[in-house]
Structure 1
Amino acid sequence: MALTLPDLPRPTAGEDTPYCVIAKHRATPGQGSALVARMLKDLQATRSEASCLQFHIHRDRTDPDLIVIYEVWRSIDALKSHFGKAYVQSFVVDAGELEPGDMETQWLEMLSPYASGRDPG
């Protein structure tokens, strides 16, 4: 199974902030931990991409089968490039065993000036 590139909304004219997305993944009941483990396998590769500014995996505190990813990319083209990586294609195949439906996405326009993450320390 190959990743079908979603129809990414184009940035608005004059938009100069990073391209952001929230992706909600619904695991098969009881498979949330397995889906998280599979996502964490690619975390470092994703964060190592030069155009990945932030990539965070979250689990809903009351629904362990709902996994939410918050991503910030330098540009829409950077995100498209990410989708084409072999390890992302492999994730799509593997996740198909743990996630019966399509992920839900929200394409966000960053309205505040971009500030890099802070150490939560």
Structure 2
Amino acid sequence: MSEHTNLAQMRAKPGRSEALGAALQSLVAPSRDEPGCIIYQVHQSTEDPALWMVYEVWQSADDLGDHFTLPHMQAFVASVPELVDGDLDLKSFTRVGPTA
């Protein structure tokens, strides 16, 4: 079993940055309570307040996959078209070395 890390970047639609930030923040507590969640953080760009990033680390690919099926994630995905300008930029990584 190896850790899986996701980095998701997204740009809020004009005038929707605050709403996108609130929607992202609403995912933190329930995501952190999920089995296998190691880290779940929301970040906002210091240079562009419309640019947001979610940094998440999971114990396994299965835990991450389960995460996307839960009601809080499904509700967020349904809100993406009204909040996000363009596509989500989602990158996945697997840790390959020992922990620090």
TM-score (norm 2): 0.90
- Per-residue CA deviation, residues 18-76 of structure 1 (Å, 9 max, x unaligned), is 01110001110232121011111121000000211101100110111110111101111
Q: What is aligned with 1:63? A: 48
Q: What is aligned with 1:110? A: 95
Partner AA of 1:32 in structure 2: S
Question: Highest Rg: 1 or 2?
Answer: 1
Match of 1:98 among 78, 83, 92: 83
When the two chains are superposed, the root-mean-square deviation of aligned CA atoms in Å is 1.4
Tell me which protein shows more helix as a share of its residues: 2
Q: What is aligned with 2:65? A: 80
Q: 2:86 is paired with a residue of what secondary structure?
A: coil
Q: How many residues align?
A: 100
Could you list the structure 1 runs, at least 4 aligned residues long, displaced by more than 2 angstroms after superposition. 111-115
Match of 1:26 among 3, 6, 11: 11
Gapped regions of structure 2 (runs ≥ 5): none
Whether the 8 Å contact between 1:18 and 1:114 is mirrored in structure 2 is: no
Partner AA of 1:43 in structure 2: V
Partner AA of 1:84 in structure 2: T
Tell me which protein shows more strand as a share of its residues: 2
Gapped regions of structure 1 (runs ≥ 5): 1-15, 116-121
State how far apart, in whole Å, the 1-side matches of 2:72 and 2:91 are. 23
TM-score (norm 1): 0.76
Partner AA of 1:67 in structure 2: W
Aligned-residue sequence identity (percent) comes to 33
Q: Structure with the greater relative contact order (CA < 8 A, sep ≥ 6): 1 or 2?
A: 2
Q: Establish whether residue 44 from structure 1 lines up as the match of residue 3 from structure 2.
A: no
